[in-house]
Chain A
Amino acid sequence: MSLELRGVSKTYPPPTAVTALADIDLLVGTGETVAITGASGAGKSTLLSILGTLERPTTGSVRIAGVDTSAMSDRELSALRAWHLGFVFQQFFLLDRLSVLDNVATGLLYRGMPAALRRQRAADALGRVGLSGRRRHRAGQLSGGERQRVAIARAIVGGPAVVLADEPTGNLDSATGEGIVHLLTSLADGDTTVIVITHNADVAGAMSRRIHLVDGRIVRDSAVFA
């Protein structure tokens, strides 16, 4: 699934009135793995949110698989996220009271799938991230690296076309982070597009394309300038 931004800018309303993105043109093709780098406040997270339809741009258009999302309703955007996009966050956002298995199954909750099927798919996804033995544990009982793997399992449980990860290794030690990076890149073996925000040069190096942001603008894109 391709993602395309045209003339996208994002200015937050007052009192902040910060321009997070300015006139971004970007095309990410199916199956690409992209690292987005840049200093804090460069607009990386905003770019990822807009690519993931969690936020609408102030100007410009976002096309996903060729379809303009600006005219989509909340219902349509939600369905798009439920069926085609997977998110991984630095803070994991697991529901600590739920079991590992149910946390992963939450990735399928809003598809209207029967609970038994969701759990079965979740068990498969946990197998792919190497946590089959932890499925009955509560999410709150896991280590940081395990929690991020659960979050990745939740992102990929539905077989999304695009996985968007916002500093997935930011809260992890480097060895654990490496495992996470490996996991993410291995996802892209097929048609899955992977876009990762990172400060980590190793993570960025593992991706097929690197985009560097400064003050809301793309100043380097390995696909264009390499």
Chain B
Amino acid sequence: MTMRPADVVSVSTIGLRARRLRTTLSALGVAVAIAALVAVLGVAESAKAELLTQLGAQGNLLAVASGQTFDGNPTPLPSTAPAMIRRIPPVRNVTAVGNVPGVTVRRTAAIPAVQTGGINVMAADGSLLSTLSAHMLRGRFLDATAEHYPEAVLGYAAARALGIGTLDASTQVYLGGQYFTVVGILDQVAIAPEVDIATLISFGIANSRFGLDNHPSRIYLRADPDQVAAVAQVLAFTASPDEPEAVQVRRPSDILLARIAAKNAFVGLFLVLGGIALFVAGVGIANIMVISVLERRGEIGLRRAVGARRRDVAAQFLLESSVLAGLGGVLGVALGVLATGVVADLQDDPLVIPAVAPLAGLAAALLVGALAGAYPAARAARVAPAEALRTL
């Protein structure tokens, strides 16, 4: 005959109930470590979910860019390229931008010409917004009027570099020797950072004032999500049948993948730190349990006298240690979820906690409890009952 399972549990919590402050503090150590682990996983996953949402929306975006000749000169794409690409059946949207070489943009003519702020001037048209899923932060995009009048739209970073935050009818920039009215500012376009640092003007003005001749330097297109790879294969030939090797085809969403990979690297680092915290908490529990075994020699001796086997005593202390760590684990998971919720709320990310995080947190806590309790439990089982009962 052995103990009943319910009795095993109840006996294993006697020590914890008798020393509540000690129990609370030891469990708190585990709770903090588990909370950190759950929060790291949760926060990272929430941020990743935001990126993955973008990735899902941007995964079918392809970019065709002009290459360079061997001597480093850019080779503009043929002016026919956008129309050719539009004819590929799975292609849904196409937009082209043309780099206007040698033209700088400054706040006023009084700014020295060398202070370009790294801002490019690009020709663009209305299809840019829909193709890149871009949004206006202020004002409007280039419209039909802009084809004939000097109007400009600033990329997000370009507007900041030029110090332009709000717009009115008199907001102008000095672009290629004359003033352009700024009609709008774009919000960030994560998928095409080159647009962020550009000042956009119409193809009409770029052709007539700067001799662009409708040559695009980069074409963005959205394809049927199932056909992205197939479209990518034929893009170079379609865009530039004469010089396909001079054309670069990119998938801008690779930037997002890189960011996700970077986040994963941080998660790994923080998980290691959380693991160290958990190890320290485990050592704390082992310490407390060893003290507990020493203090409770009399109880151990008595239990042996009333019929407890060595393994009953070992099980009692092992379970006590596991329950202690498990309490910390439950508290830690709750704190971790709370922390993730707060961070996700602050960063406007969706709240995503991978199901594995709370479960792994609890499992890790119980494992630490069992490991920390193993040695004290073995010691408790080895206590010689006659000696324990004599020396109190």
Given A55-B386, A109-B11, A115-B7: A87 touches B305 (CB 8 Å cut-off) = yes
Q: Are A97 and B18 within 8 A (Cβ)?
A: yes
Per the bound structure, the CA–CA distance linking A95 and B386 in Å amounts to 18
List residues of chain A with CB within 8 A of the CB of B301: 54, 93
Supply 28 A–B pairs (Cβ within 8 Å), ascending by A. Answer: A49-B385, A49-B389, A49-B390, A54-B305, A54-B389, A78-B304, A78-B307, A78-B312, A81-B305, A81-B307, A87-B302, A87-B389, A89-B389, A91-B392, A93-B389, A95-B14, A97-B14, A97-B18, A98-B14, A109-B303, A109-B307, A110-B2, A110-B303, A111-B1, A113-B4, A114-B4, A115-B6, A166-B389
List residues of chain A with CB within 8 A of the CB of B306: 81-82, 87, 106-107, 109-110, 154
Per the bound structure, the CA–CA distance linking A55 and B385 in Å amounts to 7
Given A89-B389, A107-B306: A112 touches B18 (CB 8 Å cut-off) = no
* From A54, A79, A82, A83, contact of B385 by CB (8 A): A54
Per the bound structure, the CA–CA distance linking A146 and B164 in Å amounts to 88
Per the bound structure, the CA–CA distance linking A97 and B392 in Å amounts to 18
Expressed in whole angstroms, the minimum distance between the Cβ of B169 and any Cβ of chain A is 82
Per the bound structure, the CA–CA distance linking A54 and B3 in Å amounts to 20
Q: Are A112 and B389 within 8 A (Cβ)?
A: no
Given A55-B384, A78-B304, A154-B306: A110 touches B298 (CB 8 Å cut-off) = no
Given A93-B298, A93-B301, A95-B14: A75 touches B386 (CB 8 Å cut-off) = no
Given A81-B307, A97-B18: A54 touches B298 (CB 8 Å cut-off) = no
Interface residues of A in 126-159 (CB under 8 A from B): 154
Per the bound structure, the CA–CA distance linking A61 and B307 in Å amounts to 21
Interface range, B side = 20 to 34
Q: Are B1 and A52 within 8 A (Cβ)?
A: no
Q: Is B209 an interface residue (CB 8 A)?
A: no
B interface list, Cβ under 8 A from A: 1-4, 6-7, 11, 14, 17-18, 298-299, 301-310, 312, 384-386, 389-390, 392
Q: Is A173 an interface residue (CB 8 A)?
A: no
Query: Nearest CB to that of B10 among chain A residues?
Result: A115
Given contacts A49-B389, A109-B306, A110-B308, 13 further A-B contacts (CB under 8 A): A52-B305, A54-B305, A74-B309, A83-B307, A87-B302, A97-B18, A98-B14, A106-B303, A107-B306, A109-B308, A110-B309, A154-B306, A166-B389
Given A49-B386, A74-B310, A78-B304: A112 touches B6 (CB 8 Å cut-off) = no
Q: Is A59 an interface residue (CB 8 A)?
A: no
Q: Is A46 an interface residue (CB 8 A)?
A: yes
Q: Are B3 and A45 within 8 A (Cβ)?
A: no
Per the bound structure, the CA–CA distance linking A91 and B389 in Å amounts to 9
Query: Nearest CB to that of A97 among chain B residues?
Result: B18
Size of the A side of the interface (Cβ < 8 Å), in residues, is 32
Q: Are B390 and A45 within 8 A (Cβ)?
A: yes
List residues of chain A with CB within 8 A of the CB of B308: 78, 109-110
Q: Are A54 and B1 within 8 A (Cβ)?
A: no
Query: Nearest CB to that of B302 among chain A residues?
Result: A93
List residues of chain A with CB within 8 A of the CB of B7: 109, 115
Q: Mark A70-97, 1 if CB is under 8 A from B, else 0.
A: 0000110011011101010101010101
List residues of chain B with CB within 8 A of the CB of A75: 309
Expressed in whole angstroms, the minimum distance between the Cβ of A202 and any Cβ of chain B is 24
Query: Nearest CB to that of A164 among chain B residues?
Result: B305
Q: Are B14 and A54 within 8 A (Cβ)?
A: no
Per the bound structure, the CA–CA distance linking A113 and B4 in Å amounts to 7
Expressed in whole angstroms, the minimum distance between the Cβ of B372 and any Cβ of chain A is 23
List residues of chain A with CB within 8 A of the CB of B309: 74-75, 78, 110
Expressed in whole angstroms, the minimum distance between the Cβ of B102 and any Cβ of chain A is 87
Q: Are A93 and B299 within 8 A (Cβ)?
A: yes
Query: Nearest CB to that of A56 among chain B residues?
Result: B386
Expressed in whole angstroms, the minimum distance between the Cβ of B18 and any Cβ of chain A is 5
Q: Are A82 and B302 within 8 A (Cβ)?
A: no
Per the bound structure, the CA–CA distance linking A110 and B4 in Å amounts to 8
Q: Are B3 and A110 within 8 A (Cβ)?
A: yes
List residues of chain B with CB within 8 A of the CB of A115: 4, 6-7
Expressed in whole angstroms, the minimum distance between the Cβ of B187 and any Cβ of chain A is 65
List residues of chain B with CB within 8 A of the CB of A54: 301, 304-305, 385-386, 389
List residues of chain A with CB within 8 A of the CB of B304: 54, 78, 81
Interface residues of A in 38-53 (CB under 8 A from B): 45-46, 49, 52
Q: Are B305 and A97 within 8 A (Cβ)?
A: no
Query: Nearest CB to that of B11 among chain A residues?
Result: A109
List residues of chain B with CB within 8 A of the CB of A49: 385-386, 389-390
Given A83-B307, A107-B306: A112 touches B4 (CB 8 Å cut-off) = yes
Per the bound structure, the CA–CA distance linking A132 and B109 in Å amounts to 103
Q: Are A82 and B1 within 8 A (Cβ)?
A: yes
List residues of chain B with CB within 8 A of the CB of A52: 305
Q: Mark A164-197, 1 if CB is under 8 A from B, else 0.
A: 0010000000000000000000000000000000
List residues of chain B with CB within 8 A of the CB of A91: 298, 392
List residues of chain A with CB within 8 A of the CB of B3: 109-110, 112
Counting chain B CB atoms within 10 Å of each CB, which of A81, A106, A109 scores highest? A109
Query: Nearest CB to that of B6 among chain A residues?
Result: A115
Per the bound structure, the CA–CA distance linking A177 and B124 in Å amounts to 105
Expressed in whole angstroms, the minimum distance between the Cβ of B231 and any Cβ of chain A is 73
* From A81, A85, A107, A112, contact of B1 by CB (8 A): A112
Per the bound structure, the CA–CA distance linking A97 and B11 in Å amounts to 12
Q: Are A82 and B298 within 8 A (Cβ)?
A: no
List residues of chain A with CB within 8 A of the CB of B385: 49, 54-55
List residues of chain A with CB within 8 A of the CB of B390: 45, 49
Per the bound structure, the CA–CA distance linking A154 and B302 in Å amounts to 11
Pairs A-B, 4 closest by C-beta atoms: A82-B307, A110-B307, A49-B386, A112-B1
